[in-house]
Structure 1
Amino acid sequence: MPLAGIALTPLLVSPLAPSPRRSRVATSAARRPRALQRARCSATAASGEAGELSHATLLWRAAKLPIYSVALIPLTVGSASAYYHAGLFFTKRYFVLLTAAVLVITWLNLSNDVYDSDTGADRDKKESVVSITGSRAMTQNAANFSLFLGFAGLLWAFAEAKDIRFILLVISAIFCGYVYQCPPFRLSYQGLGEPLCFAAFGPLATTAFYFSNSSLNTSSGGAALLPLTKTVIASSVLVGLTTTLILFCSHFHQIDGDLAVGKMSPLVRIGTKAGSRIVSIGIVMLYILLATFGTCGSLPPSCIVLCALTLPMGKTVVDYVLKHHEDNAKIFMAKYYCVRLHALFGMALASGLVLARNGILA
């Protein structure tokens, strides 16, 4: 089954900078500030201090491909939880839901650019889709069309699963995204983005995708509904936490722009030094929760072992943020380190559930 392997996808496209050790060597050889070098076309790390960005770099940033791991991981972990509990996995349903989730995230990204352009938050953000296309209306229409197609896929999956809990949780997750950025709510401007992100991608989306694997009981003619288990609850909390770290770290290089338009993100309120400490606490909490869930039997030993292997990546995030939190040209990359942690941790979690179902480290 493709559950664990497919979670590798964001690792292949995540535009990470070189490791901090190699970066120091490269930086010492340079006579003037320059952007961090990256593997793909995203060769620049900060828009304001790195000169003009190439068109390819702007398109890469606008696409935000690595961020789509937030569509992939909740689905994969939720599906793996269903497989662990009941041995259920529906390949066609999985890929339809993956497409639908990507389309919903596309709506989030595009509508975020639209409404940030309205408030002026993206005035100096060259990689904004509105700035690139020069058309707010076209971007808004593309966002709405993506949401329409994505919701159609979700409705198809609901018709297959026949579990009302699935569609209710999905709608709740989408509503969190709406109140996060869309008028008249715009709760992200009040510093409430992180709680909404945690709820949407963790307990709501991950659990919803678990329920999407309910199946029609052909012998009785009714639906065989999956029960809510402590395993999926624990998994959803961990997924929510790693997703929230991505959003939190995306604020570091945007403080001046956010402050100018009254967007009171957590880092506008507390500053980068305190923010870097919160990232450290968040990473420590992630692994404390992992150990706690393993100790109380919410997660099988295989999950604990595999997720513990991501500790070096977690340490990389902490070290990088603590060192570069005041450097806009480098802290831009922090969210991509968090994306990699999110993908690795989610892959390990899903793989552990699959292995446990098959009697390995169960």
Structure 2
Amino acid sequence: MQPGMEANRSQIDQPQSLSANSTPKSQRKLWLAAIKPPMYSVAIMPIVVGTAIAFYQTQQLNWRNFLTFMFAAILVLAWENLSNDVFDSETGIDQNKAHSVVNLTGNKNLVFAIANLFLLLGISGVVAISWWQRDFVVLGIVVLTCLLGYSYQGPPLRLGYLGWGEPICFICFGPLAIMAAYYSQTNAFLINSINSSAQNLAALAAAAIIVGVGVTLVLFCSHFHQVEDDIKAGKRSPVVRLGSKRAAQLIPWAAVSIYATTIVSMISGFLPLWSGLVLLSAPFAWKLSSLLGKYHDQPAMITESKYVAVLLQFSSGLGLSVGLVIARLLN
């Protein structure tokens, strides 16, 4: 047992007892906050976008692989979320987090077992795709993604506590997820002629930036309302390192990178003009930038900011995907 585990366990018991005395309605709210259904958009959208690029370039869509990969991604993210709750319970950072699954159940071992079951089921789905393709590239990419995901909060690395969570998030949900989804459809990265393949790779790179930045913003914005808890637990998130004001000033630039990548890719011909539907997400970017720009140091005012970031991530990814499909169908 790690030092301080007994102390952390007592810290866990406190939110549990509070939730036990709460009403059924408040219990449901706590469980919804713990499960975070909207957050699973960050698992779904990279698969949708990667598949849409493959459809745009090949005119083919393998529904079996797409749906299998979708459910596998959701299961893997469920593992990530639950295991992170377990790892955070060991550091005491979630002692004031009533909607932690570990705090709600009071049974860390059960939560960890369920998390690992989700991981096993998710990996099994990816293994099935690789078996159907007679090619284990997708499996290799997903395993690498899981290892990076574990390093985010898992001991002994806990890279998220060192401020490396955002780069890890970008890599996993941007380039790696997009490439895996694309490969699950095409069974190759380089297709057609050399020039065409270069354009394909450029389109994948653009999509990786658009999706990766959107997902990373979700994680980035989740730090603003818990700065004090992060500092007490020794977690040096980017918001802790920069301060909430300077961190909030980065959000408009991150949003601009999404739209600049889209416009440059359209002008260059890497993405079709219909990809401009990404710009329909701009109101969410404006709302997120305004909200955190004004209330960055007032946790009570910004608890929902990460869900605005989810809307930005979801709408930009959906706009890109729909644009690719429309361009293919019209062509």
TM-score range, shorter chain: 0.7 to 0.9
SS of equivalent residue, structure 1 residue 70: helix
Alignment correspondent of 1:108: 80
Alignment correspondent of 2:16: none
The C-alpha deviation readout for 1:233-267, integer Å capped at 9, x for no partner, is 21111100000000000000111111101011011
Alignment correspondent of 1:324: 295
1:117 aligns with 2:89: yes
* Aligned AA (1:259): I
CA RMSD, aligned part only?
Answer: 1.9
Alignment correspondent of 1:83: 55
Q: Is the 8 A contact 1:317 1:338 kept in 2?
A: yes
* Aligned AA (1:107): W
Identity percentage over the alignment? 38
Alignment equivalent of 1:159, drawn from 131, 134, 150: 131
Residue 224 (structure 1) shift: 10
Of Structure 1 and Structure 2, the greater helix share is in 2
CA distance in 1: counterparts of 2:141 and 2:266, whole angstroms: 26
Residue 225 (structure 1) shift: 7.4
CA distance in 2: counterparts of 1:109 and 1:170, whole angstroms: 16
The C-alpha deviation readout for 1:102-132, integer Å capped at 9, x for no partner, is 1100000000000000000111111000000
1:339 aligns with 2:294: no
The C-alpha deviation readout for 1:315-356, integer Å capped at 9, x for no partner, is 111111112212111211110001001111111000111111
Residue 163 (structure 1) shift: 3.6
Runs of 4+ in 1 over 6 A off after TM superposition: none
SS of equivalent residue, structure 2 residue 256: helix
* Residue 224 to residue 268, structure 1, CA distance change in 2 (3 Å): closer
1:187 aligns with 2:159: yes
Alignment correspondent of 2:328: 357
Gapped regions of structure 2 (runs ≥ 5): 1-21, 192-196
SS of equivalent residue, structure 1 residue 176: helix
The normalised TM-score by structure 2 is: 0.88
CA distance in 2: counterparts of 1:155 and 1:334, whole angstroms: 36
The normalised TM-score by structure 1 is: 0.80
Q: Which has the larger displacement, 295-304 or 257-266?
A: 295-304
CA distance in 2: counterparts of 1:178 and 1:250, whole angstroms: 19
* Residue 259 to residue 224, structure 1, CA distance change in 2 (3 Å): closer
Alignment correspondent of 1:284: 256
Residue 184 (structure 1) shift: 0.9
* Aligned AA (1:344): S
> Matched residue pairs, number?
303
The C-alpha deviation readout for 1:60-86, integer Å capped at 9, x for no partner, is 111110000011100000000110110
Q: Which has the larger displacement, 315-324 or 269-278?
A: 315-324
